Amino acid sequence: MHPRTTPTHDCTDGSPVDELRTGSEARSLLEMMCVFGERMRHLATRTEVGEIGARVAVIEDRMERLATKAALAVFEERMSHTATKTWVLGGVITILAGLLGAVWWIVQQYLAPLLRALPAT
């Protein structure tokens, strides 16, 4: 088995990227993709077919987990912009209170002169 190497190449942002170990979380998607590219270049130089197949399986597994995390992140981001039930109910109550106040004011404006015009009994 070949020793693991730690790639220290520069990505698009110019910062060195350390190899991600099994079980650790990626600090960013850019770093994960840089490490993936480095591993693919490293695999392309290998001659052992069995080891390449095993490493490709590990990379595919990690990419599948990354896709799952990305889908979850998109869902959570979209849900963070969704109105909650409490917010919607508060808005509805505020609008209804305003409408009720406007109707009451209109009723007073029309009923007051009519009530004053009625003869007293």
**Could you tell me if 78 and 111 lie in one domain?**
no
Do 113 and 101 lie in one domain? The reply is yes
Query: What is residue 96's predicted lDDT score, i.e. its pLDDT?
Result: 97
- 66 and 95 inside one domain: no
Mean of the per-residue pLDDT values of the chain: 76
Q: What percent of the chain has pLDDT over 90?
A: 21
Vertex 60 angle, CA 55 and 61, to 5°: 95
**pTM for this one?**
0.38
Terminal CA-CA length for the chain: 110
The SS3 call for residue 48 is coil
Owner of token pair 């591993």: 39
pLDDT band at 82 (very low <50, low <70, confident <90, very high): confident
What sign does the dihedral 44-48-52-55 (CA atoms) show? negative
| Res 91: pLDDT | 96
SS3 at position 102: helix
> Do 62 and 97 belong together in one domain?
no
> Quick one: average pLDDT of 65-82?
88
pLDDT at 103: 94
Q: Which domain holds residue 117?
A: 83-121
25 has pLDDT over 60:
no
Q: How many Cβ atoms from other residues are within 10 Å of residue 35's Cβ?
A: 21
